A = this chain, B = another copy of it.
Amino acid sequence: MSVPEITFSKECGDCPIRHRAVCARCEADELEQLEQIKYYRSYDPGQTVIWLGDTMDFVASVVSGVATLSQTMEDGRTQMVGLLLPSDFVGRPGRDQAAYNVKAITPVTLCCFRRKPFEEMMVRTPHIAARLLEMTLDELDAAREWMLLLGRKTAREKIASLLTIIARRETQSKADVLQGSVAFDLPLTREAMADYLGLTLETVSRQISALKNGGVIELHGTRHIVVPDFARLIEETGDDSDGGLLS
């Protein structure tokens, strides 16, 4: 298999980093500065975007596609530590070495900003710095919620939790207002789900079948999920029913 080339392109709509509102409060001249240091990269499914330890010369925002953050032990055991969906931020402002592997799952397009000028801009522009801190705190909250899942939830609860999270992200809906029937496509293979949940792919498959047989979800093909009653799925996660009202 030939290693696919990273493709660069120059078309840009409006500032993609705005996806996460980094520049919601940017003035016109600040947006112009971002334009100057911006470029695009595309990756094919399966391609590694970043290796742990790589020197990073950019930070980026996911424009389209799905990628994963993962860590690996010497003997091959791997654990996904994050899921990157459109509008998510990639990179560690102020750090030049990658701490995780980043892998494209579907075709991925990143909107990249050259690191050095981006960091200089951060210093001059407190609201960008504040927004980055806020996003990092969001990631920290997500990581800690995942710690509870990994440490204390059953396989069935883990699957239900993952489906809930993907449903919320994929359906664009404002998180907690989801109700009634929901449909979406799984962007992950059973194996990737297993790596995210600290399970094996067989257990993932079995628990998905169990949720299907219990009437909690419908499976059309292997990736398309219909949830007839979203509240029912949430019950299966083991979370507080009012979870998510905070923060």
Least CB distance from A24 to B in Å reads: 15
Q: Which residues of A from 141 to 159 have beta carbons under 8 Å from B?
A: 141, 143-148, 150-153
Binds B, one of A30-38, A59-67, A77-85, A178-186: A77-85
Instruction: Tell me how many chains of this kind the complex includes.
Output: 2
A140: Cβ under 8 A from any B Cβ: yes
Chain B residue contacts of A12, Cβ below 8 A: none
Given A92-B137, A129-B130; A73-B239 close (CB under 8 Å): yes
A207: Cβ under 8 A from any B Cβ: no
A132: Cβ under 8 A from any B Cβ: yes
A247 touches B99 (CB 8 A): yes
Chain B residue contacts of A147, Cβ below 8 A: 71, 79, 81, 143, 146-147, 150
Q: Which residues of A from 109 to 136 have beta carbons under 8 Å from B?
A: 122-123, 126, 129-130, 132-134, 136
Q: How far is the CA of A143 from the CA of B100 in the complex (A)?
A: 13
A246 touches B136 (CB 8 A): no
B78 touches A152 (CB 8 A): yes
Q: How far is the CA of A137 from the CA of B138 in the complex (A)?
A: 11
A240: Cβ under 8 A from any B Cβ: yes
Q: Which residue of B lies closest to A124 (CB)?
A: B126
A97: Cβ under 8 A from any B Cβ: yes
A139: Cβ under 8 A from any B Cβ: yes
A94: Cβ under 8 A from any B Cβ: yes
A107: Cβ under 8 A from any B Cβ: no
B52 touches A148 (CB 8 A): no
Q: How far is the CA of A95 from the CA of B141 in the complex (A)?
A: 12
A5: Cβ under 8 A from any B Cβ: no
B137 touches A137 (CB 8 A): no
Give 8 nearest A-B pairs by CB, closest first: A151-B198, A150-B150, A143-B143, A81-B144, A79-B148, A79-B151, A77-B152, A150-B151
